[in-house]
Structure 1
Protein backbone atom coordinates (compact mmCIF):
# COMPACT_ATOMS: atom_id res chain seq x y z
CA UNK A 1 0.00 0.00 0.00
CA UNK A 2 1.28 3.46 -0.86
CA UNK A 3 1.31 6.07 1.92
CA UNK A 4 1.06 9.81 1.40
CA UNK A 5 3.11 11.88 3.85
CA UNK A 6 2.15 15.53 4.18
CA UNK A 7 3.38 18.21 6.55
CA UNK A 8 2.45 21.68 7.68
CA UNK A 9 4.68 24.27 9.37
CA UNK A 10 3.07 25.59 12.58
CA UNK A 11 3.87 29.02 14.06
CA UNK A 12 3.77 29.44 17.86
CA UNK A 13 0.36 31.14 17.70
CA UNK A 14 -2.93 29.73 19.09
CA UNK A 15 -4.67 30.62 15.79
CA UNK A 16 -2.56 27.89 14.18
CA UNK A 17 -4.65 25.20 15.88
CA UNK A 18 -7.70 26.00 13.75
CA UNK A 19 -5.58 26.23 10.62
CA UNK A 20 -4.06 22.80 11.40
CA UNK A 21 -7.53 21.26 11.80
CA UNK A 22 -8.73 22.71 8.47
CA UNK A 23 -5.55 21.55 6.73
CA UNK A 24 -5.87 18.01 8.14
CA UNK A 25 -9.54 17.78 7.07
CA UNK A 26 -8.61 18.77 3.52
CA UNK A 27 -5.92 16.07 3.38
CA UNK A 28 -8.25 13.32 4.60
CA UNK A 29 -10.62 13.65 1.65
CA UNK A 30 -7.82 12.93 -0.81
CA UNK A 31 -6.91 9.73 1.01
CA UNK A 32 -10.42 8.28 0.81
CA UNK A 33 -11.27 8.90 4.47
CA UNK A 34 -14.71 10.48 4.60
CA UNK A 35 -15.37 13.49 6.82
CA UNK A 36 -18.24 11.58 8.45
CA UNK A 37 -16.08 8.59 9.45
CA UNK A 38 -15.33 8.32 13.15
CA UNK A 39 -11.64 7.97 12.23
CA UNK A 40 -11.70 11.46 10.67
CA UNK A 41 -13.39 13.02 13.70
CA UNK A 42 -10.93 11.36 16.07
CA UNK A 43 -7.94 12.36 13.95
CA UNK A 44 -9.04 16.02 13.89
CA UNK A 45 -9.42 15.99 17.69
CA UNK A 46 -5.92 14.52 18.04
CA UNK A 47 -4.50 17.13 15.65
CA UNK A 48 -6.11 19.82 17.79
CA UNK A 49 -4.72 18.43 21.05
CA UNK A 50 -1.15 17.83 19.86
CA UNK A 51 -0.85 21.15 18.00
CA UNK A 52 -2.33 22.99 21.00
CA UNK A 53 0.25 21.34 23.26
CA UNK A 54 3.08 22.36 20.93
CA UNK A 55 1.86 25.96 20.63
CA UNK A 56 0.96 26.51 24.29
CA UNK A 57 3.68 24.58 26.10
CA UNK A 58 6.74 25.19 23.92
CA UNK A 59 6.34 28.64 22.38
CA UNK A 60 8.37 27.28 19.44
CA UNK A 61 7.50 26.62 15.81
CA UNK A 62 6.45 23.04 15.10
CA UNK A 63 5.79 20.72 12.18
CA UNK A 64 2.57 18.69 11.84
CA UNK A 65 2.95 15.53 9.75
CA UNK A 66 0.29 13.10 8.57
CA UNK A 67 0.91 9.70 6.99
CA UNK A 68 -2.27 8.75 5.15
CA UNK A 69 -3.26 5.79 2.99
CA UNK A 70 -2.72 6.76 -0.65
CA UNK A 71 -5.91 5.05 -1.74
CA UNK A 72 -9.34 4.40 -0.29
CA UNK A 73 -8.14 1.31 1.56
CA UNK A 74 -10.68 -0.29 3.86
CA UNK A 75 -7.99 -1.06 6.45
CA UNK A 76 -5.01 1.21 7.00
CA UNK A 77 -3.11 3.06 9.69
CA UNK A 78 -3.07 6.84 9.88
CA UNK A 79 -0.09 8.36 11.67
CA UNK A 80 0.00 11.88 13.12
CA UNK A 81 3.22 13.50 14.34
CA UNK A 82 4.02 16.88 15.82
CA UNK A 83 7.70 17.78 16.03
CA UNK A 84 8.83 20.86 17.94
CA UNK A 85 12.10 22.44 19.06
CA UNK A 86 11.55 22.02 22.79
CA UNK A 87 13.50 19.26 24.53
CA UNK A 88 11.00 19.27 27.41
CA UNK A 89 9.33 15.85 27.65
CA UNK A 90 5.53 15.68 27.40
CA UNK A 91 4.09 15.12 30.87
CA UNK A 92 0.54 13.85 31.31
CA UNK A 93 -1.22 15.84 34.01
CA UNK A 94 -3.95 14.83 36.42
CA UNK A 95 -6.59 17.52 36.74
CA UNK A 96 -9.82 17.81 38.67
CA UNK A 97 -13.27 18.15 37.13
CA UNK A 98 -13.20 21.96 37.39
CA UNK A 99 -10.05 22.45 35.29
CA UNK A 100 -10.49 23.75 31.75
CA UNK A 101 -7.23 22.28 30.44
CA UNK A 102 -4.63 19.64 31.12
CA UNK A 103 -6.38 16.66 29.53
CA UNK A 104 -4.66 16.64 26.13
CA UNK A 105 -2.35 13.66 26.59
CA UNK A 106 -5.07 11.73 28.44
CA UNK A 107 -7.28 12.22 25.36
CA UNK A 108 -4.47 11.08 23.08
CA UNK A 109 -3.94 8.02 25.26
CA UNK A 110 -7.64 7.19 25.25
CA UNK A 111 -8.33 7.81 21.56
CA UNK A 112 -5.21 6.65 19.71
CA UNK A 113 -4.46 3.00 19.06
CA UNK A 114 -0.80 3.74 19.83
CA UNK A 115 1.17 6.83 20.81
CA UNK A 116 4.55 7.87 22.08
CA UNK A 117 7.33 10.40 21.78
CA UNK A 118 11.03 10.53 21.06
CA UNK A 119 13.87 13.03 21.11
CA UNK A 120 14.61 14.56 17.73
CA UNK A 121 17.71 16.73 17.44
CA UNK A 122 17.30 19.51 20.00
CA UNK A 123 13.54 18.93 20.23
CA UNK A 124 11.04 16.09 20.24
CA UNK A 125 8.45 14.31 18.14
CA UNK A 126 5.10 13.21 19.59
CA UNK A 127 3.20 10.70 17.47
CA UNK A 128 0.01 8.71 17.51
CA UNK A 129 -1.59 6.16 15.21
CA UNK A 130 -5.19 5.30 14.40
CA UNK A 131 -6.20 2.08 12.67
CA UNK A 132 -8.89 2.35 10.02
CA UNK A 133 -11.00 -0.77 10.29
CA UNK A 134 -14.06 -1.95 8.40
CA UNK A 135 -17.24 -2.04 10.44
CA UNK A 136 -17.34 -5.48 12.09
CA UNK A 137 -20.04 -7.72 10.75
CA UNK A 138 -20.62 -11.34 9.80
CA UNK A 139 -18.33 -11.09 6.75
CA UNK A 140 -15.77 -8.59 8.12
CA UNK A 141 -13.98 -9.25 11.41
CA UNK A 142 -12.67 -6.34 13.47
CA UNK A 143 -9.07 -5.19 13.03
CA UNK A 144 -6.45 -7.24 14.78
CA UNK A 145 -4.19 -4.34 15.73
CA UNK A 146 -1.47 -5.35 13.28
CA UNK A 147 0.88 -2.72 11.92
CA UNK A 148 0.78 -2.43 8.12
CA UNK A 149 3.89 -2.57 5.96
CA UNK A 150 4.52 0.64 4.01
CA UNK A 151 5.73 -0.36 0.55
CA UNK A 152 5.96 3.07 -1.03
CA UNK A 153 5.88 6.66 0.12
CA UNK A 154 4.71 9.82 -1.58
CA UNK A 155 5.66 13.16 -0.02
CA UNK A 156 4.16 16.64 0.05
CA UNK A 157 5.48 19.60 2.06
CA UNK A 158 3.40 22.72 2.71
Structure 2
Protein backbone atom coordinates (compact mmCIF):
# COMPACT_ATOMS: atom_id res chain seq x y z
CA UNK A 1 0.00 0.00 0.00
CA UNK A 2 1.22 3.47 -0.87
CA UNK A 3 2.02 5.79 2.04
CA UNK A 4 -0.19 8.39 0.31
CA UNK A 5 -3.21 6.09 0.62
CA UNK A 6 -5.09 6.45 3.89
CA UNK A 7 -7.49 4.09 5.67
CA UNK A 8 -11.05 5.13 5.05
CA UNK A 9 -10.48 5.99 1.40
CA UNK A 10 -13.38 4.94 -0.80
CA UNK A 11 -13.85 4.67 -4.55
CA UNK A 12 -17.26 4.01 -6.13
CA UNK A 13 -18.35 3.12 -9.66
CA UNK A 14 -21.98 3.16 -10.79
CA UNK A 15 -22.75 0.73 -13.60
CA UNK A 16 -25.75 -0.10 -15.78
CA UNK A 17 -27.58 -3.41 -16.02
CA UNK A 18 -25.53 -4.65 -18.94
CA UNK A 19 -23.21 -7.64 -19.30
CA UNK A 20 -20.42 -5.25 -20.37
CA UNK A 21 -20.62 -3.75 -16.89
CA UNK A 22 -18.85 -6.83 -15.49
CA UNK A 23 -15.77 -5.91 -17.53
CA UNK A 24 -16.14 -2.29 -16.43
CA UNK A 25 -16.33 -3.40 -12.77
CA UNK A 26 -13.06 -5.32 -13.24
CA UNK A 27 -11.39 -2.33 -14.93
CA UNK A 28 -12.52 0.00 -12.15
CA UNK A 29 -11.24 -2.40 -9.50
CA UNK A 30 -7.93 -2.96 -11.31
CA UNK A 31 -7.38 0.83 -11.44
CA UNK A 32 -8.10 1.16 -7.70
CA UNK A 33 -5.76 -1.74 -6.88
CA UNK A 34 -3.04 -0.10 -8.94
CA UNK A 35 -3.57 3.29 -7.32
CA UNK A 36 -3.51 1.73 -3.84
CA UNK A 37 -0.64 -0.65 -4.71
CA UNK A 38 -2.66 -3.69 -3.69
CA UNK A 39 -1.12 -5.80 -6.44
CA UNK A 40 -0.21 -9.23 -5.12
CA UNK A 41 -3.84 -10.29 -4.54
CA UNK A 42 -5.08 -8.71 -7.73
CA UNK A 43 -6.19 -11.95 -9.39
CA UNK A 44 -8.24 -13.00 -6.36
CA UNK A 45 -9.85 -9.58 -5.99
CA UNK A 46 -10.66 -9.28 -9.70
CA UNK A 47 -12.22 -12.74 -9.83
CA UNK A 48 -14.41 -11.90 -6.83
CA UNK A 49 -15.57 -8.57 -8.25
CA UNK A 50 -16.35 -10.31 -11.56
CA UNK A 51 -18.49 -12.90 -9.80
CA UNK A 52 -20.32 -10.35 -7.67
CA UNK A 53 -20.93 -8.00 -10.61
CA UNK A 54 -22.19 -10.91 -12.73
CA UNK A 55 -24.63 -11.89 -9.97
CA UNK A 56 -25.84 -8.30 -9.73
CA UNK A 57 -26.45 -8.08 -13.49
CA UNK A 58 -28.13 -11.48 -13.75
CA UNK A 59 -30.10 -11.61 -10.51
CA UNK A 60 -30.10 -8.32 -8.64
CA UNK A 61 -30.75 -5.43 -10.99
CA UNK A 62 -34.25 -4.87 -12.39
CA UNK A 63 -34.57 -3.43 -15.91
CA UNK A 64 -33.75 0.26 -16.06
CA UNK A 65 -31.67 0.16 -12.88
CA UNK A 66 -27.98 -0.16 -12.16
CA UNK A 67 -25.60 -1.29 -9.46
CA UNK A 68 -22.52 0.05 -7.76
CA UNK A 69 -19.09 -1.29 -6.92
CA UNK A 70 -17.45 0.22 -3.86
CA UNK A 71 -13.81 -0.27 -2.86
CA UNK A 72 -12.55 0.93 0.50
CA UNK A 73 -9.45 0.65 2.68
CA UNK A 74 -10.29 -0.32 6.22
CA UNK A 75 -7.04 -0.16 8.20
CA UNK A 76 -3.54 1.22 8.13
CA UNK A 77 -2.19 -2.27 7.38
CA UNK A 78 -4.21 -2.32 4.17
CA UNK A 79 -7.37 -4.33 4.33
CA UNK A 80 -9.41 -3.96 1.14
CA UNK A 81 -13.20 -4.23 1.20
CA UNK A 82 -15.25 -4.60 -1.95
CA UNK A 83 -19.02 -4.19 -2.01
CA UNK A 84 -21.44 -4.70 -4.87
CA UNK A 85 -24.78 -2.98 -4.23
CA UNK A 86 -27.93 -3.84 -6.18
CA UNK A 87 -31.67 -3.40 -5.74
CA UNK A 88 -32.60 -7.07 -5.93
CA UNK A 89 -34.77 -8.82 -3.35
CA UNK A 90 -34.00 -11.79 -1.17
CA UNK A 91 -31.16 -13.52 0.54
CA UNK A 92 -27.97 -14.64 -1.13
CA UNK A 93 -26.52 -18.06 -0.37
CA UNK A 94 -23.78 -20.09 -2.00
CA UNK A 95 -25.08 -23.27 -3.58
CA UNK A 96 -23.55 -26.43 -4.87
CA UNK A 97 -23.62 -26.63 -8.65
CA UNK A 98 -23.70 -29.90 -10.52
CA UNK A 99 -20.54 -30.79 -12.47
CA UNK A 100 -22.47 -30.22 -15.72
CA UNK A 101 -23.76 -26.78 -14.69
CA UNK A 102 -22.30 -23.72 -16.40
CA UNK A 103 -23.23 -21.43 -13.51
CA UNK A 104 -23.81 -21.42 -9.78
CA UNK A 105 -20.27 -21.33 -8.44
CA UNK A 106 -19.73 -17.58 -8.01
CA UNK A 107 -20.30 -17.27 -4.27
CA UNK A 108 -18.37 -20.48 -3.64
CA UNK A 109 -15.40 -18.87 -5.39
CA UNK A 110 -15.83 -15.66 -3.39
CA UNK A 111 -15.96 -17.60 -0.11
CA UNK A 112 -12.82 -19.55 -1.10
CA UNK A 113 -10.76 -16.55 -2.24
CA UNK A 114 -11.78 -13.72 0.10
CA UNK A 115 -10.66 -13.60 3.73
CA UNK A 116 -14.24 -12.70 4.75
CA UNK A 117 -17.51 -12.14 2.92
CA UNK A 118 -21.16 -11.53 3.67
CA UNK A 119 -24.44 -9.93 2.68
CA UNK A 120 -26.00 -6.72 3.97
CA UNK A 121 -29.40 -5.12 3.50
CA UNK A 122 -30.14 -1.75 1.97
CA UNK A 123 -33.36 -0.11 0.84
CA UNK A 124 -34.07 -1.15 -1.80
CA UNK A 125 -32.02 -4.30 -2.17
CA UNK A 126 -28.83 -5.66 -0.71
CA UNK A 127 -25.09 -5.63 -1.03
CA UNK A 128 -22.53 -8.40 -1.04
CA UNK A 129 -19.14 -7.61 0.44
CA UNK A 130 -15.78 -9.33 0.60
CA UNK A 131 -12.54 -8.39 2.33
CA UNK A 132 -8.90 -9.08 1.55
CA UNK A 133 -5.92 -8.67 3.85
CA UNK A 134 -2.93 -7.06 2.15
CA UNK A 135 -0.55 -9.93 2.78
CA UNK A 136 2.49 -9.58 0.59
CA UNK A 137 1.50 -6.15 -0.68
CA UNK A 138 3.90 -4.69 -3.13
For the aligned pair, the TM-score class normalised by the smaller chain equals: 0.7 to 0.9
User: How many residues were matched structurally?
Assistant: 129
Return the offset for 1:58. Answer: 2.1
Where do residues 6-155 of structure 1 align in structure 2 (5 Å cutoff)? Answer: 6-34=11-39, 37=40, 39-60=41-62, 61-68=66-73, 75-134=77-136
Kindly indicate whether the alpha-carbon contact (under 8 Å) linking 1:28 and 1:68 is maintained by their aligned counterparts in 2: no
Higher strand share: 1
Structure 2: which 5+ residue stretches go unaligned? 1-5
Structure 1: which 5+ residue stretches go unaligned? 136-158
Provide the TM-score with structure 2 as the length reference. 0.85
* Distance (Å, rounded) in 2 between the aligned partners of 1:112 and 1:88: 22
Return the offset for 1:68. Answer: 3.3
Extract structure 1 runs of 4+ deviating beyond 3 A: none
Kindly indicate whether the alpha-carbon contact (under 8 Å) linking 1:66 and 1:81 is maintained by their aligned counterparts in 2: yes
RMSD: 1.9
Deviations 1:38-64 (A, max 9, x none): x11110001100000000112331111
* Distance (Å, rounded) in 2 between the aligned partners of 1:116 and 1:58: 16
Higher CA-based Rg: 1
Provide the TM-score with structure 1 as the length reference. 0.75
Q: Residue in 2 aligned with 1:144? A: none
